Amino acid sequence: MRPDTHRLNVGAVAAAPINLLGSLIEVPLKAIQRVVGIRGMPYVFLVPNLGFFGIFVVVPLFINFAFSLTGGTNLFLSDRVYTGAEQYEFLLDCENFTDSGSCREDRFWRGIFNTTVFVFFQVGFLVLFSLVTALILNREIRGRGFFRAVYFFPVLLSPVVVALIWKWILLRDGILNAFLVTIGLEKILFFVSPQWAMFWAIFVSIWAHMGFYTLILLAGLQAIPPDLYEAAEMDGTSKERIFWRITLPLLWPNMLVVIVLALIKGVQIFDEVYVLTGGGPGTATQFIVQYIYNTGFTNQVQNFGLASAASVILGVVLFALTLMQLAAVRRKDSA
């Protein structure tokens, strides 16, 4: 029951306008190639993307940096007051960096602390569950396609919807508490306890993103040549040994992709948790991006300068993290 024939029809219908588009662009690009030659063509191919990138990412990044050196509440850079590094000094003004309470801007530091805790557990368990799920889905089981779809499904939901779905379940009078009461337990106020709130923030973000990482790992598992396993089995190698000596090392490149992506996305966590817990209780699940958003946007005095300074610091940290990971990859590759 290959659906290939069906897919071909769809493809044929879609192909007509796409082909037309290709032919339309072909004419000017041929002319350009005549002028710049093959050596010039990579730049031609890069220009549209980098152009948009420059306008909508690079320019804003520069504006953002400029903002971080100014104060006041005016929106246009030309109206803002130059303050030098004051915003940075304000953020970094701490008596003791291990105690957010001693910092002038305690919420910034609590945001950093919370984000660190979140990323540590979220990435750890995300990788673990993705790996277990991928291993199970790689087995010879009935309805594998169905189960694969089941785990992937939440990836398609928007963060707001993900958070609303779970909030609706976890409310005091929600269905989870109804279940607890039915089996004879007390209701739990999940969003009042810092530990529970953090737990659910981590749980829900794993729920939402696990499917994507599972698929990446599954692809890696399926790329492992079967004869390796056969040879190992013939040697009578134990299953555990096969896992540690063959499966895991060969899966490592995919694992790295998963870890890098999960780390980056983890540090950026915002909308899901913002809708789910609102950052509470207190500031227990208020993460760094939410701090930036609140400072620059939701406060009555929209403090773009301070928010930009915090985002520059965040950017520097993220960049350093990624460089470190890339270095790790390089070493692994050359080894």
Partner 1 sequence: MPDAYASSSSRRTVAGLLTARRGRGGRLHWTDIFSYAYLGLGVVLMFGPAVWLILSSFKTASGLLEFPPTLLPLGQIEVNVEGYEKPLPLYSVTEEDGTVRELAQVRRIGIIAQMVDPSDPGVTIKVPIGQREAVREFRVAWENYTAPLQRFNFLTYLKNSVVVTLAATIVTLLINSMAAYGLAIYEFKGRNAVMLFVIGTLMIPITVILVPVYLVVTELGMINSLWGVILPGAATPTGVFLLRQYMLTIPKDLIEAARMDKASEWVIYWRVVMPLATPAIAVLAIFSIMWRWNDFLWPLIVLNRSEVYTLQVGLNAFQGELDVQWHFVLAMTVVTLIPVVLVFAFLQRFITTGIASTGMK
Partner 2 sequence: MRTRKTKALSAVAVAFAMATTSVAAETNLRMTWYNDGIEGEVMRDLLDRFEAANPEISVTLDVVPYKAILESLPVQLAAGEGPDLARVTDLGGLSEHYLDLAPYISDPAYWESNFGPFLKWLRLPGDNSSISGFMTQLTVTGPYVNRTLFEQAGLDLPGEGATWDDWAAAVNEVADALEIPIPMAWDRSGHRVSGPAISMGAMMFDADGNPALVDDGLKAMTQRLYDWHQDGTMAKELWGSVSGSSYLGANEDFANAQVVMYMSGSWQIPQFAGTIGDAFDWWAVPAPCGAAACSGMPGGAALVAMKDTEHPEQVGMLMDYLSSEEALAEFYGRTLFIPGHLGLASGGVDFDTEDPRARHALETFAGAVPTISPIAFDLQGYPSNRVMFNALISRLGEAIVGEISLDEAYDRMEQDIEQQLAEKARN
Which residues bind to partner 2, rule: CB under 8 A? 71-76, 78-79, 81, 83, 101, 104, 106, 172-173, 189, 191-192, 194, 197, 277-286, 294, 297-303, 305-306
Q: Which of 81, 150, 192, 324 binds partner 1 (CB under 8 A)?
A: 150
Report the nearest approach of partner 1 to the CB of residue 140 (Å).
5
Chosen from partner 1, partner 2, none, partner binding at 306 (C-beta under 5 to 8 Å by type): partner 2
Q: Which of 20, 243, 280, 299 binds partner 1 (CB under 8 A)?
A: 243
Q: Which of 73, 107, 121, 148 binds partner 1 (CB under 8 A)?
A: 148
Alpha-carbon span 113 to 117, nearest angstrom: 6
| Of residues 91-130, those binding partner 1 (CB under 8 A) | none
Closest CA to 281 of 198, 175, 206, 204: 198
Question: Per CB under 8 A, which region of 120-128, 192-200, 277-285, 315-323 contacts partner 1?
Answer: 315-323
Chosen from partner 2, partner 1, none, partner binding at 92 (C-beta under 5 to 8 Å by type): none
Alpha-carbon span 119 to 262, nearest angstrom: 9
Query: Angle at CA 155, nearest 5°, toward 154 and 156?
Result: 90
Report the nearest approach of partner 1 to the CB of residue 64 (Å).
5
Q: Which of 121, 125, 199, 229 binds partner 1 (CB under 8 A)?
A: 229
User: E strand or H helix at 6, and its extent?
Assistant: helix 4-53
Q: Which of 9, 145, 300, 334 binds partner 1 (CB under 8 A)?
A: 145
Long-range CB contact pairs, 142-148, < 8 A, 24+: 148/214, 148/215, 148/218
Task: Cite the DSSP H helix spans in 189-247.
Answer: 194-222, 226-234, 239-242
Q: Which of 88, 108, 118, 166 binds partner 1 (CB under 8 A)?
A: 166
Closest CA to 261 of 210, 330, 207: 210
CA terminus-to-terminus distance, the chain: 45
Cα-based distances in Å from 103 to 89, 263, 296, 310:
11, 26, 19, 14
Q: Does the protein bind partner 1 through residue 133 (CB under 8 A)? A: yes
The contact pattern for partner 1, residues 168-207, with x = CB under 8 A and - = no contact, is xx---xxx-xx--xx------------------------x
Report the nearest approach of partner 1 to the CB of residue 95 (Å).
27
Report the nearest approach of partner 1 to the CB of residue 97 (Å).
22
Quick one: 51 or 249, whose CB is closer to partner 1? 51
How far, rounded to the nearest angstrom, does the alpha carbon of residue 250 sit from its chain's CA centroid? 24
Query: Angle at CA 195, nearest 5°, toward 105 and 99?
Result: 30
Task: Cite the DSSP H helix spans in 244-287.
Answer: 248-267, 271-276
Chosen from partner 1, partner 2, none, partner binding at 140 (C-beta under 5 to 8 Å by type): partner 1
Confirm if 212 and 265 have CB atoms less than 8 A apart: no
